[in-house]
Each structure stands twice: as C-alpha cells, then as structure tokens.
Amino acid sequence: MAPFVTQMNDCEHTMNTTYNEMEFRLLKLATRKLLDSFGSLKTAASMCRVKPTNLSQYQSFEHSAFMPVDVLLELERAANTSILSEEMARIAGTAPAPESDRGVRDEALDVPVAVGELLAFVCEATAAGSAGGQTLSENEKRRYFELRNQVEAELRELDAAVEQKGSLVRIRRI
C-alpha cells in the first residue's frame, strides 16, 4: 500500500509525516472510540491535561496530530478500556492472539457475514442514486474502514482458532 502523506497545518510544525493510510485511519477511529466513551470531549478533557480542542484534533482525519502517550494512559485508565493501545499493538503486530472457545468452523462462518456487510455497504454507498455517487464522503470512508476492520478482526479470530484447534481440512475415514 502506498504511504499516506499528510501536510501539517500552520499551527503545527511545517513538515511531512508518512503514514500507511489504513493505519492512520484505524488509529483515528480507535481514538474516536476512546473519546466517545466519555460522552463529550469536555468530560474527556477533565480527565487529562489537554483541552477539548486538542482531543478533537486527535480524532480528526483532517489533522495529523495523535494523542500524547501520557494523555492516552490517563484516558484509558479513566474509561477502563485500552482500545487505542490494543489497536496500536495490532498495527505493530505485537497483539496477543485472542483466546477463544469457538471452533474453527464457527469462526470461519463469521467471515462471510462480515465480508457481506462490507460489500453491501460499498454497493449502497457507491450506487448511482446515492448522495455522493461513486465517490465516498468522509463519513462513508470512516464506515468503510470500520467494516473493513471488522472483516480483519474476524480473519484474526479464524487464524487464532486454526492455531489453537487445528486445521480446516477434515480427515476422511475410509
């Protein structure tokens, strides 16, 4: 995938920062989920050292800024979740494989459901009669990446089930 280059605005240092576009969007979405758990940016800001306007920029696709690690720790503790830290671990490839009691077949059956939801969304969002036509709006792009992330999560769960429970191939008895 081609790198995603963002140009920082005048309030930030003028320099280019290279991100993988998918990673950039996934981190922004995870940041938004963390901040949404507080109900308002004002409430979230009361739990840390930054202002609501800064928090807004950390979740915005229009800004290249990300949340400082001390703010991240304070907010995840206050929300009793580690959603952004877990997303960073997944992106870095250091997230532990999830434990699951579900078998390979159960996990495999979840994949086409997630893919179907993604395909249905893409068909609806790019239909000739849709508001934006074949061009996705920013909200539609966000929804696309949320659904795509769900497909990826289902595939990771299937991989974990295969690792824990065995192969997808059934042994034929003669």
User: For the whole model, what pTM was predicted?
Assistant: 0.50
Question: Where do the domains of the chain lie?
Answer: 3-92, 104-165
Rg of the chain in Å (alpha carbons): 19
Mean pLDDT: which of 15-29, 120-134, 143-157 is highest? 143-157
Lowest mean pLDDT among 24-38, 50-64, 95-109: 95-109
Lowest mean pLDDT among 18-22, 88-92, 133-137, 152-156: 18-22
Residue 118, pLDDT score? 87
Residue 96, pLDDT score? 65
Q: How confident is the model at residue 55 (pLDDT cuts 50, 70, 90)?
A: very high
Q: How confident is the model at residue 37 (pLDDT cuts 50, 70, 90)?
A: very high
Residue 41 has pLDDT above 90, yes or no: yes
* CA dist., res. 19 & res. 9, Å (int): 16
Indicate the SS3 state at residue 38. coil
Residue whose tokens read 């963002």: 6
Selected from 3.40.50.880, 1.10.260.40, 3.40.50.300, 3.40.50.720, the CATH number assigned to the domain covering 3-92 reads 1.10.260.40
Mean pLDDT: which of 37-51, 128-142, 153-167 is highest? 37-51
